[in-house]
Amino acid sequence: MDTTLRDPLIGQLLDGRYRVDARIAVGGMATVYRAVDTRLDRVLALKVMHPTLAADASFVDRFIREAKSVARLAHPNVVQVFDQGADRSYVYLAMEYVAGCTLRDVLRERGALQPRAAVDILEPVLAALGAAHRAGFVHRDMKPENVLIGDDGRVKVADFGLVRSVDAATGTTGAVLGTVSYLAPEQIEHGTADARVDVYACGVMFFEMLTGGKPHAGETPAQVLYKALHESVPPPSARVPGLAYELDELTAAATARNPGVRPHDAVALLARARDARGALTDAQLDAVPPQARAERHDNAEDRTSVIPRALTVRPLPVDGDEREEFHRTSRLAAAPPGPPRRRTVRRRRLTLTLVTAVLLVFGVGAGVWYINSGQFTQVPAVLGQTEAESRDRLADAGLDVGEVRHAYSDTVERGAVISTDPGPGSRIRQNDSVTLTVSDGPETVRVPDVQGMLLADAQALLKDEGLEPGMVTREFDDEIAKGSVIDSDPRGGTERRAGSAIALLVSKGRPIDVPDVTGEDIDAARERLQEAGLTVQIAMDRINSEIDAGQVARQSPAEGTRLAEGDKVTLTLSKGPRMIEVPDVVGDNVDDARQTLEAAGFQVQEDRGLLGLFGDSVSDQSVDGGDTAPEGTTITLTIR
């Protein structure tokens, strides 16, 4: 049944501008509609706050804050906000309309995704959040419903409704605002939220994309929250065997329960995601997940909601036999008192039973614990932490730091841990040592001084030093020989990241002004040009010219052009003038005769004498009609 028929906003013109056409989605705080901006004649999405919340000034402020915050984020992977306003009890945002579906739709339809598809979605999401984090904002409600996938494949992050300044990321004591399955432990326990809560939520989404299900399940929100607070997100390969270790490691880094262990923002997580992709083979990226649909769940669990913090710290209820024992013990405790002797015997028996149970638990249990796991521990995740922080964390886990290695890294800050051996989560005996690899930051190279070197030698030296020869430009130089380096950009002695391109400025030598050799014999012209330091080439074809045959009729480049030593000048020789038949114009009007001769390629001169001062017809011409003459010859007309 189409419930949009009962929506009172469908068909209305909101704020005299936005015509509401259809309902797209309903969330915990607002409903999203497809609408048309009648002023600009464009389709957009209209997000209208639920009327019950619109009466709450704090929610309205948060709604308006979303508009102002997102309007500052000009990023291709962020849904743009065009306008904000209110009409009667409706508070709305006018936003970019993305034709397509949400990531939730994809997961509901397909279940687990191939790793390549999961990373292809994760990276633009992190790019969008990275822009928000660097601009000083936290999303605070990342989930598949807020990841839009357009029909053209574009991925965009929407719904910055809970956005908050990083600097103002403080806690609340009464409630947590967000979506149950994607709340970070510090949100649950303390109500605090900074950029790392978005990192955590993205890690949960990544787990969900790889496995088709959420990491923590429960019959109630309280159970989900309790597990998130006390249980780490399992590695995706535990749900989908065969997934690459790098995917497990990326998920573990993003969803670490201790926020200090997580990447500090989405930009840092994006760098790790790209590193993970680069470490995977095509076969690992294109691994086909099990053919299973996404887990079924109540849609209400995926809505943004106000969660009382009492739920987040209440322990899980006991069940089964434990619940029955709990009730039985409660009934005994509440029973009316019997005879004193009976109570004493019963109390002694109960005490003996309890003591025996305690001894068994602490004796046998401790022995089993020591045998099975007391000698072992797991390597904690210290990636991204400083060496000192890593040593403290490893010491807390009962481990020593062995060798400390150093390596260059373009993505991990200098002094932070790149990797551990054994890796995070590995099983290791207590008091064993862990090898740390610490970042020295990006590898830098001192640019060598290549001034005066031949171009080929300079390029070879740059490669030997770990740099790339860049663009080559040339200019004249009176001092540096042709083909040698005048300067580099950046200059020698400058520190640059390894692999950087170094531009080179190369000398064309001293400039030579090309002399004019047109009209000269070929031998004389060649000698003059070669003496100037230029080379000569003779064109295959000759041209007609008023210059005598065999002489230079044309040169390229022309006189005055500046060339470098050894540059080439092309000479074209003359075939002499072109011979043209002279028209017969005797008896013609003077003006007509001139026009005819000039059109044929001749020059015209008039001879009137005393008798022709007032004449207007040609009585004679210097070259008879029908004869040939060189093109450009002057024909004299006698006027009578």
Which of 627, 538, 639, 513 lies closest to 581 in space, CA to CA?
A: 627
Active site residue 167: no
Q: Which H or E run contains 501? A: strand 501-507
**DSSP string across 506-518:** EE--SEEEPPP-T
Are the C-beta atoms of residues 421 and 390 closer than 8 Å to each other?
Answer: no
Catalytic residue among 141, 159, 194, 198: 141
Which of 376, 420, 116, 398 lies closest to 253 in space, CA to CA?
A: 420
CB atoms within 10 A of CB 345: 11
Which of 104, 137, 101 lies closest to 205 in space, CA to CA?
A: 104
**DSSP string across 35-101:** EEETTTTEEEEEEEE-HHHHT-HHHHHHHHHHHHHHHT---TTBPPEEEEEEETTEEEEEE----EE
End-to-end CA distance of the chain: 108
Which of 189, 219, 183, 171 lies closest to 310 in space, CA to CA?
A: 189
Q: Which H or E run contains 637? A: strand 634-639
Please state, in angstroms and rounded to a whole number, the distance separating the CA atoms of residues 330 and 334: 6
Q: Which H or E run contains 474? A: strand 468-475
CB atoms within 10 A of CB 404: 13
On the question of a cis peptide bond just before residue 490, with omega within 30 degrees of 0, the verdict is yes
Helix, strand, coil share (%) of the chain residues, nearest 5? 35, 25, 40
User: Any idea of the CA torsion for 191, 193, 197, 198, to the nearest 10 degrees?
Assistant: 130
Phi first, then psi, for residue 292 (nearest 5°) are -140, 145
CB atoms within 10 A of CB 506: 20
User: Any idea of the CA torsion for 197, 203, 204, 208, to the nearest 10 degrees?
Assistant: 160
Please state, in angstroms and rounded to a whole number, the distance separating the CA atoms of residues 77 and 68: 17
Query: If phi over 0 gives left and psi between -120 and 50 gives alpha, with beta otherwise, what is residue 365?
Result: alpha
CB atoms within 10 A of CB 436: 22
Return the active site residues: 141
